[in-house]
Copies of this chain bind each other. A is one copy, B any other.
Amino acid sequence: MNLDVIGEWKRTHYSVDVKPEMDGCEVTVFGWVQEIRDLGALRFIILQDREGTIQVTVLRKKTSVEVLSKADALQKRFSIGVKGTVKKTDMTPRGVEVIPKEIKVFNTAESPPIDICGKTLAKLDVCLDARALDLCREENIAVFKIQHKAVEAIREFLFAQGFIEVHTPRFIGSATEGGAALFKVDYFGRDAFLAQSPQLYKEQLVMSLEKVFEIGPFFRAEESHTRRHLSEFVSIDIEEAFADAGDVMQLLEHLMHHVCKTVSEKCGRELAVLKYSVKVPELPFKRLTYDEVLEELKAKGIVISWGEDIPTPVLRTLGKIHPYFYFITHWPKSARSFYIQPCADRPELTEGFDLMWRWIELVSGGTRVASKGLLVKQLKEKGLNPDSFRCHLQAFDYGMPPHAGWAIGLERLTMMLTGKKNIREVTLYPRDKARLTP
């Protein structure tokens, strides 16, 4: 059962692996025609694959009629295979070219509606409308390779720390977590909702699996159109038994260090394509309390009423004072969810924290409430009905341990690692109020 169009063709090398020291070797490369330049006696075909490009040089006088006729018919974006001989040369930037012996055309192509060589960049919405093609741009491939490497580094780190990967449900029966901004689903004729986070489930799981994490899509019916919100996003969630905010903050800063180090060391080519660099942060990260942040802002002439959240324009100012990673700790109870533990000595404060990167909230976390009585009290204080949380509260009857955790937004993390300014650029197929395609 072999697809006839491939036949016995097998890729021997990606473009970047064809090197001058392979002079005289036979190779087979696969990819797409990125550019064609015709100089009469010579025809240059730039073949692109996901790893880069390689020049295929057709010398009219020395090439068979069959190969010539195929080379002449090529157009941009045709997907092709080339069997040929590697030649060292001074005429290409990488010092190497391939002299073709055989060309196979897998598929033809229309003229692309957007320039994917990046010379004239279309508006983001135009690019997103042709996303499959837009993703062929070298910069976009670089973005998603960096994202891939970051997620790999995160798992590697969490595995080493003894975390178990879990899969919690997206369908939930009642509008928990305040019920704000949940998507409603027709679930066999009754109402269900799509989970905004694995929060309640990951908390329940510390009773059995103790240290858990989940990486997956979650949903929020976000009305506002900003550069950092989507209606569907990937969350990286952990929860740990017998741990508190201090423990998981330390885990988090070491994780961020590991991710930045991995990406800066292993994604050199991709970062060069993006003309960006990732600084490996020093440990420990700066820790500011909410009160200290308010003081700093006051010194800049900005007054925030105590207990209120910090609005985005103000965070931008804060990001100028602290241009890299910093924690904001001891948030007021009024600005945190019902499941965050109040501080023992000042119960109007909580053990909730945010990890900031410049002005962007990258991670939110904290010690959770482990006492059922306190949880019920805090639900009521937030105007929520404990009856809607019956299934969740039940878990707290059987020895719920102290626990803490956090959630990283993968897209925001990717913005940090790639320097992209709009969350839609770091999402393969972004979804917001206006966009549901492609």
Residue pair A438, B132 in contact (C-beta under 8 Å): no
- B contact residues around A140 at 8 Å (CB): 208
Name A243's contact: one of B6, B231, B232 (CB within 8 Å).
Answer: B6
User: Most chain-B CB neighbours within 10 Å: which of A6, A78, A398?
Assistant: A398
Q: Which of A186, A223, A427, A433 has the most CB of B within 10 A?
A: A186
Distance of A398 Cα from B106 Cα, bound (Å): 11
| A397 at interface by CB-CB < 8 Å | yes
Whole-angstrom distance between the alpha carbons of A209 and B14 in the complex? Answer: 12
A170 and B232 in contact (CB under 8 A), knowing A3-B351, A402-B5?
Answer: yes
Which residue of chain B has the shortest Cβ distance to A159 in the bound complex?
A: B152
User: Which A100-154 residues have C-beta < 8 A from chain B?
Assistant: 106-110, 112, 130-133, 135-136, 140-141, 144-145, 148, 151-152
Question: How many identical chains are in the complex?
Answer: 2
| Known A144-B164, A231-B171, A401-B106: A183·B186 in contact at CB below 8 Å | yes
Given contacts A136-B207, A395-B133, A428-B201, contact A401 B437 (CB under 8 A): no
Chain B proximity of A334: nearest CB distance (Å):
18
Task: Please tell me if the beta carbons of A132 and B204 are within 8 angstroms of each other in the complex.
Answer: yes
Residues in B with CB closer than 8 Å to A436 are 171-173, 187, 190, 192
Contact of A241 among B30, B172, B242, B401 (CB under 8 A): B30
Indicate whether A145 sits within 8 Å of B170 (C-beta atoms), given known contacts A49-B210, A77-B399, A351-B3: no
| A221 contacts partner chain B, Cβ-Cβ < 8 Å | yes
Tell whether A55 is near chain B: CB-to-CB under 8 Å. Answer: no
Cβ contact within 8 Å between B4 and A399: no
**CA of A11 to CA of B240 in the docked complex: distance in angstroms?**
13
Q: Is A168 an interface residue (CB 8 A)?
A: yes
Asked whether, in the complex, the Cβ of B428 is within 8 Å of the Cβ of A397, the reply is no
* Residue from the list B144, B245, B400 in contact with A79, Cβ < 8 A: B400
Which residue of chain B is the closest to A186 with respect to CB atoms?
Answer: B184
Query: What string of 1s and 0s marks CB contacts (under 8 Å) between A405-438 and chain B?
Result: 0000010000000000000000111010100111
A27 to B269, CA, bound (A): 48
**A351 adjacent to B133 (CB under 8 Å):** no
In the A-B complex, the 4 residue pairs with the closest CB atoms: A3-B244, A391-B438, A132-B395, A132-B204
**Is A169 an interface residue, CB under 8 A from the partner?**
yes
Proximity string of chain A (61-99) to chain B, C-beta cutoff 8 Å, 1 when within and 0 when not: 000000000000000011101000000000000000000
Which bucket holds chain A's interface residue count? 35 or more
User: Contact at A232–B1, with CB atoms within 8 Å?
Assistant: no
Q: How far is the CB of A435 from the nearest CB of chain B, in Å? A: 9
Which has the most chain B C-beta neighbours within 10 Å: A246, A351, A431? A431
Nearest CB to that of A327 among chain B residues? B1
For A132, give its contact among B77, B78, B205, B232 (CB under 8 Å).
B205
Is residue A165 contacting chain B, with contact meaning CB distance below 8 A? yes
| Cα A223 to Cα B187 with chains together (Å) | 11
Q: B398 near A132 (CB under 8 angstroms)?
A: yes
Question: Does A429 lie within 8 Å of B399, measured CB to CB?
Answer: no
28 residue pairs of the A-B complex, CB under 8 angstroms, read: A1-B330, A2-B244, A3-B244, A3-B351, A3-B404, A6-B243, A78-B399, A106-B399, A106-B401, A108-B399, A109-B398, A110-B397, A132-B205, A132-B395, A133-B207, A133-B395, A135-B205, A135-B209, A144-B209, A148-B164, A168-B428, A168-B429, A169-B232, A171-B232, A183-B185, A183-B186, A187-B436, A188-B231
Contact in complex: B188, A433 (CB < 8 Å): yes
B187–A183 CB distance below 8 A: yes
Q: For A172, A186, A207, A399, which residue has the most chain B Cβ atoms within 10 angstroms?
A: A399
Q: Given A3-B244, A166-B428, A183-B185 in contact, is the A399-B79 Cβ separation under 8 Å?
A: yes
